[in-house]
Chains A and B, each alone.
Chain A
Amino acid sequence: MISINNVSKIYPNGTVALNGINIEIHKGEFVFFVGSSGAGKSTLVKMLLKEENPTSGSISVDGVVINSLKRRQIPYYRRKLGVVFQDFRLLPDKTVAENIAFAMHVVEASRREIARQVPRVLSVVGLGDKANVFPGQLSGGEQQRVSLARAIVNNPSLLIADEPTGNLDPDTAWEIMKLLKEINQRGTTIIMATHARDIVNYMRQRVVTLERGRIVRDQERGGYGIED
């Protein structure tokens, strides 16, 4: 599904963020990108979101080489992705339901579809009773669940989670991981960038470890780092 071929990224100031990266990710996989800050995780995520372009090499998603996408094609590419961020990125002046419906307005979904999908994804993330509450009235974990609901409402084939548990306490983080696992089991490919050691070790999924812009390990059912 995703094929990253010999990708390097050198920023204009000379920093080498990624150096000859090769990764193949298959449909339905759950993959962790781990490594300390500056290892290149975020750069890799940004490239998959088409926020950055590789300096050399190519990335293809679903058979489409995304390096060569034209500006006006990017939105349509992004509609295939769901994204979750560390800071939730919810709109504070919209209710939970409106935040999710907003993602559907953008892709011009019909009113009927919105009315059907919003309650459905809210029940998937276990917030069926919070539809008309504002994000400010929710806990961090609940907010992240809303952002997860928003990420999956348009049925993306790939979910990219950038440090989704970074702002959450361990118990709440586990709830989010359980949800991600569930979403993955429904067939969505998931890429999660993180440095949450416990989570990675417990989940026993594929782990790609980055260090100073290179892949140092790529293990099925792996753990976090050499110390394991």
Chain B
Amino acid sequence: MKIRTLGLQFRQGISGLWRNRIMSLVAVGSVTAVLLVLGLSLLTIININSITAYIESSVEIKAFLEEDLDTAQVETIGAKIEQMEGVREVEFETKETALEKYKEQLGDNSSLLEGLEGENNPFPSSYIVRVDDPNTIGAIADEIAVFEGVEEVQYGKDVVERLLNSTHLIRVVGTVLICILAFISIFIISNTIKLTVVARRREISIMKYIGATDGFIRLPFIIEGLLLGIIGAALASGLVAVVYNYFFVAMNSSFEGVFVMLSGYFAPFAETLYRTSFILLAVGIVIGVTGSAISLRKFLNV
């Protein structure tokens, strides 16, 4: 197809939008609404992921060792854990360090622990194990628990499982929601395009007699759908930025304690918005083109 023809087709697509401007407005509105929900869901998921990723990464296994192990035995256990699949990092914590840590936690009341140094230290030495994938933490902990010389294994089982369950739920619900919304929006676009097809029915039938190829006849409608998608995506991106900004500011200024702490783990503002807008644009284009393609398949067969 020649460039000049492409230009004509593009103008034809725009005139299609203008011809049905009310319906185009409705379609753009629907795409905007859908992409707004999609964008906000994405941002929610991205941020929950970002927060849970932080919490997950801070979750560790503590393997307490039996008393009376000699240095060689301790090192063997450490080496065995290190060799396990999925283990990212292993750190040895001596009885002394454990006592110091506990003292720090007690702060002003640390004097309670006086006299427990050296021979009397009741804290066991331990290995602190961090894993690559939080989902495997339970299995790895169970394996370490049966190692010889390991007294007991602890990890934040409940916290991890609850978090994993909730992110899983949000991902599933989000995906389902987005699919449903995308479907609705494709439906609305295909109906909008259908209006243009109907309005131009006469023109199309004449074009066929004159010898226009299917591609030539379809292109303006594809362009029309594309434009609907792009305009919707642009509006949605703007709205998402406004909403996210408002939310970000509100989070940072009006909540205390845990929320302020968590907001520190939000995904970076500008970069996240940039990425989200890009996704919205891509989805908007896919929705627009799919909508017009469906419409053309249904209404453009002579």
A binds B: yes
A186 at the interface (CB under 8 A from B): no
A105 at the interface (CB under 8 A from B): yes
Mask of B1-21 contacts with A, CB within 8 angstroms, 1/0: 110110010000000000000
| Most A Cβ at <10 Å: residue of B205, B211, B213 | B211
B210 at the interface (CB under 8 A from A): yes
B202 at the interface (CB under 8 A from A): yes
Residues B1 and A108 in contact, CB atoms below 8 Å apart: yes
Residues A49 and B209 in contact, CB atoms below 8 Å apart: yes
B212 at the interface (CB under 8 A from A): yes
Q: How far is the CA of A78 from the CA of B208 in the complex (A)?
A: 8
Task: Say yes or no: A72-B4 contact (C-beta < 8 A), given A89-B202, A89-B205, A106-B207.
Answer: no
A138 at the interface (CB under 8 A from B): no
On chain B, the residues within 8 Å of A77 by CB distance are 211
Residue of A nearest to B216 (CB): A106
Residue of A nearest to B203 (CB): A91
Q: How far is the CA of A89 from the CA of B203 in the complex (A)?
A: 8
A10 at the interface (CB under 8 A from B): no
Task: Say yes or no: A78-B202 contact (C-beta < 8 A), given A106-B216, A108-B2, A108-B5.
Answer: no
B214 at the interface (CB under 8 A from A): yes
- For window 65-123 of A, CB contacts with B under 8 Å fall at 71-72, 75-79, 81, 83, 89, 91, 102-103, 105-108, 110-111
Q: How far is the CA of A151 from the CA of B206 in the complex (A)?
A: 11
> In the complex, how many residues of chain B place their beta carbon closer than 8 angstroms to a beta carbon of chain A?
19
Q: How far is the CA of A150 from the CA of B203 in the complex (A)?
A: 13
Residues B4 and A75 in contact, CB atoms below 8 Å apart: no
On chain A, the residues within 8 Å of B8 by CB distance are 105
Residues A78 and B211 in contact, CB atoms below 8 Å apart: yes
On chain A, the residues within 8 Å of B212 by CB distance are 75, 106
On chain A, the residues within 8 Å of B207 by CB distance are 106
On chain B, the residues within 8 Å of A51 by CB distance are 302
Residues B206 and A107 in contact, CB atoms below 8 Å apart: no
Q: How far is the CA of A108 from the CA of B206 in the complex (A)?
A: 15
Q: How far is the CA of A89 from the CA of B302 in the complex (A)?
A: 16
> In the complex, how many residues of chain A place their beta carbon closer than 8 angstroms to a beta carbon of chain B?
23
On chain B, the residues within 8 Å of A150 by CB distance are 210
Q: How far is the CA of A81 from the CA of B210 in the complex (A)?
A: 8
Q: How far is the CA of A83 from the CA of B210 in the complex (A)?
A: 8
On chain A, the residues within 8 Å of B213 by CB distance are 72, 75-76
Smallest CB–CB gap between A97 and chain B, Å?
15
Q: How far is the CA of A106 from the CA of B1 in the complex (A)?
A: 11
Residues B4 and A111 in contact, CB atoms below 8 Å apart: yes
| Most A Cβ at <10 Å: residue of B1, B4, B213 | B213
On chain B, the residues within 8 Å of A108 by CB distance are 1-2, 5
Residues B203 and A107 in contact, CB atoms below 8 Å apart: no
**Partner pick for A89 among B1, B206, B211, CB 8 A cutoff:** B206
Mask of A136-160 contacts with B, CB within 8 angstroms, 1/0: 0000000000000010001000000
Q: How far is the CA of A106 from the CA of B211 in the complex (A)?
A: 7
| Most A Cβ at <10 Å: residue of B2, B8, B209, B302 | B209
On chain A, the residues within 8 Å of B211 by CB distance are 75-79, 81, 106-107, 154
Task: Say yes or no: A91-B206 contact (C-beta < 8 A), given A75-B212, A75-B213, A75-B214.
Answer: yes
Smallest CB–CB gap between A19 and chain B, Å?
26
Q: List 25 A-B contacts (CB under 8 A).
A: A51-B302, A71-B214, A72-B214, A75-B208, A75-B211, A76-B211, A78-B208, A78-B209, A78-B211, A79-B210, A81-B209, A81-B211, A89-B202, A91-B202, A91-B203, A91-B206, A102-B206, A102-B210, A103-B210, A105-B8, A106-B211, A106-B212, A108-B5, A110-B4, A154-B210
Besides the known contacts A89-B206, A105-B5, A108-B1, 13 further A-B residue pairs in the complex with CB atoms under 8 A apart: A49-B209, A71-B214, A72-B214, A77-B211, A78-B210, A81-B211, A91-B202, A105-B8, A106-B207, A106-B211, A106-B212, A106-B216, A150-B210
Which 6 pairs, one residue from A and one from B, show the smallest C-beta to C-beta distance?
A79-B211, A78-B211, A106-B212, A75-B213, A75-B211, A106-B210
